[in-house]
Structure 1
Amino acid sequence: MTTIAERARELTDTREPFVHATVVRAQDPTSARPGDAAVIRSDGSIEGFVGGVCAESSVRAAALDALREGTALLLRVLPEGAAPFPDTPGARVVVNPCHSGGAIEVFLRPMLPAPAVRVVGDTPISAAVATLAAFLDFDVVAADDSTGCTAVVVAGLGKGEPEAIRAALDAGVGFIAVVASGKRGGVLLDELGLTDAERARVHTPAGLEIGARTPAEIALAIMGEVVRAIRVDGLAPSAGAPAARPQQAVDPVCGMTVLVGAETPQARVDGQDFWFCCAGCLASYTAA
């Protein structure tokens, strides 16, 4: 557990999304025990232990779904012929024909990096935005690179604005707030010669209309608009290429969904590739 906890902290510090899996209940015979844990990364790789090969395959597949949806999931892995388990919100049941015979329940918790906001400028407003963003659990980015940021707030009040806006657009940032009056902001965007799609990503005057006057109030209006864009409009962070979702296949022997990787048991029969949850299913298939 200490090792998995340390690994989870490392992934969190590097802003890498992952799923923290914890065995919460195990029924003999099974190799897993309550408290066993693992982390599953977005490429489907797993570190730690949550059961044997067959159970692990089910956990990995469900973890990727939890990561994609951003919601926690209780996974119950049952042996074939087990009594049905009620289908409840937030829970999923898989029947594992090659499981050892016991049942396990694994809690899958997606760990997504906090949204990042880059604040450009050295003004009282930029300082207030950075302070409020940190209070709201945003990662406040100090570097000049906007890649990976959810939003960029340009609060230079006339200094370095065109360069900051252009850099944020080129980095793929979906929400760029520019602190300026409506008239000055419009002139600024006209001078940049933006496309319609680019202009739609730039918000000026920045912030919700709340009659803000002080730097703190302006920061509140700006971060309120950013939060609304995330929670209501589905604003996502800019990114480089996201991790490719691993290929999935159905084991022709037991019917399990397996993630295809370099170590996944495989057979090529009559020019067609088949993948298996474990060596036992592979041997059963090739012997038939």
Structure 2
Amino acid sequence: MREIADRLRAWHDAGTAYAVATVVSVGGSAPRQPGAAMAVSETGEAVGSVSGGCVEGAVYELCGEALRTGTPVRESFGYSDDDAFAVGLTCGGTIEVFVRPGPLPEAALTAISRDEQVAVAHLMDESAATFVVWPDRHTGSSGLADVDRVVVGEARAMLDGGVTGVRSVRCRDGLDVFVQSHAPAPRLLVFGAIDHAAAVAKIGSFLGYRVTVCDARPVFATPARFPGADEVVVDWPHRYLNEQADQGRIDGRTVVCVLTHDAKFDVPLLEVALRLPVAYVGAMGSRRTHDDRMRRLRDAGMADAELARLHSPIGLDLGARTPEETALSIAAEFVALRRGGSAAPLVRTAGPIHHDTAAATGDVA
């Protein structure tokens, strides 16, 4: 939803009617996860995607129907063995889509655009009542106090866990609610203001990360050199990372890339990074640099279990030469780790292409 929120806000401000189709559940090798959304305006403009192309045409028509009738629609799509050309997912998976006529509450669009921690909950009945739920407050009502209490409580619990999905409303048989949790974008911290850092920042931004480049040398750490970064910080890397952790700005989705390959920066930084609950820590350098770095870290008191978390030399073996190719190899490694991929060529693997690393998915990247 985040990727279309600004367009929805523009339609909202212009008074343009629209309908929103959201993936609420998936099965098998589905191309998009719960929370993926497509919207269609009354003028016929479409933004977003629910399937990467397989059923977009059919969902576009459902949005048009919802606009004409004002009635929500709940529809499932799967592969048809009897008619391979029927509307469905050629990948063999299934998706369930919930289509509701807009507009979404202004509070929801504002919160999503501001990257706030918020859940948007839709009752999946004819009312399509919508709730906007923050950790400490909420807006919206179904008109039934017991339903409101259950929906808000469920949405708040799912928001706390970063979970998106369908839940039953316990006090009403047959009534479901779809809750979409929105969290701030995951962080990519790039240490070392070198040319490779600019390429890593660019691909990190493309992947949906909030990118910070940090270096202690002000002559190199300038916004002009890193247009792909959200912020450029001049500070000693280990001190900056410690401060971010103390401020609660580091979490289990954070990616740390150490690109300086200079021991006076790397060792103090890695002593901090490898003891934080982050998703990934990678360090650039030759195998000789890696061996020297590991020796220094052991001398500094790092345990084997802590050192085992270090991805060094950083990246996958793509034969990369240029900064852009190197950035691709680094990003491929941390994406594979995040998604549970093997990083092997698909032609050499079997089974599902998409890996389910968790029971439910949040709208985070």
Deviations 1:179-209 (A, max 9, x none): 0112211211221221122102211000011
3-state SS of the aligned residue for 1:152?
strand
2:132 is aligned to 39
Q: 2:293 aligns with which of 176, 188, 196?
A: 188
Q: 2:324 aligns with which of 210, 216, 219?
A: 216
Structure 1 residues 116 and 46: alpha-carbon distance in aligned structure 2, compared to 1, 3 A threshold: same
Unaligned runs of 5+ in 2: 1-104, 213-230, 234-239, 342-356, 359-365
- Counterpart amino acid of residue 307 in structure 2: R
Q: 1:230 aligns with which of 338, 346, 355?
A: 338
Structure 2 length-normalised TM: 0.49
Partners of 2:160 and 2:286 in 1: how far apart?
39
Q: Which has the larger radius of gyration?
A: 1
Q: 1:19 aligns with which of 89, 113, 119?
A: 119
3-state SS of the aligned residue for 1:160?
helix
* Deviation, structure 1 residue 56: 1.8
- Counterpart amino acid of residue 205 in structure 2: A
Q: Is the 8 A contact 2:151 2:169 kept in 1?
A: no
Q: Is 1:160 matched up with 2:160?
A: no
Q: 1:109 aligns with which of 139, 161, 180?
A: 180
Q: Give 1:61-140 correspondences, 5 Å limit.
A: 61-64=153-156, 66-67=158-159, 70-75=162-167, 92=168, 94-96=170-172, 105-140=176-211
Partners of 1:108 and 1:171 in 2: how far apart?
30
Q: Is 1:48 matched up with 2:139?
A: yes
After superposition, the CA RMSD in angstroms is 2.8
* Deviation, structure 1 residue 25: 2.7
* Deviation, structure 1 residue 116: 1.1
Partners of 2:171 and 2:123 in 1: how far apart?
17
* Deviation, structure 1 residue 20: 1.1
3-state SS of the aligned residue for 2:274?
helix
- Counterpart amino acid of residue 183 in structure 1: R
Runs of 4 or more above 4 Å deviation: 68-71
Q: 1:176 aligns with which of 256, 274, 281?
A: 281
- Counterpart amino acid of residue 3 in structure 1: A
Structure 1 residues 200 and 40: alpha-carbon distance in aligned structure 2, compared to 1, 3 A threshold: farther
Partners of 1:131 and 1:202 in 2: how far apart?
23
1:151 is aligned to 255
1:202 is aligned to 310
Structure 1 residues 174 and 24: alpha-carbon distance in aligned structure 2, compared to 1, 3 A threshold: closer
- Counterpart amino acid of residue 170 in structure 2: V
2:349 is aligned to none
Unaligned runs of 5+ in 1: 27-32, 76-91, 98-102, 236-288
Q: Is the 8 A contact 2:200 2:324 kept in 1?
A: yes
3-state SS of the aligned residue for 1:94?
coil
Q: Is the 8 A contact 2:314 2:330 kept in 1?
A: yes
More contact order relative to length (CA 8 Å, sep ≥ 6): 1
Partners of 2:313 and 2:201 in 1: how far apart?
18
Partners of 2:164 and 2:278 in 1: how far apart?
27
Structure 1 residues 2 and 215: alpha-carbon distance in aligned structure 2, compared to 1, 3 A threshold: same
Partners of 1:125 and 1:94 in 2: how far apart?
53
Partners of 1:230 and 1:185 in 2: how far apart?
23
Structure 1 length-normalised TM: 0.61
Deviations 1:38-58 (A, max 9, x none): 2233x5x44111323211222
* Deviation, structure 1 residue 105: 4.7
Partners of 1:199 and 1:163 in 2: how far apart?
13
Equivalenced residues, count: 201
Deviations 1:206-264 (A, max 9, x none): 001111111111111111111011110759xxxxxxxxxxxxxxxxxxxxxxxxxxxxx
Partners of 2:318 and 2:337 in 1: how far apart?
17
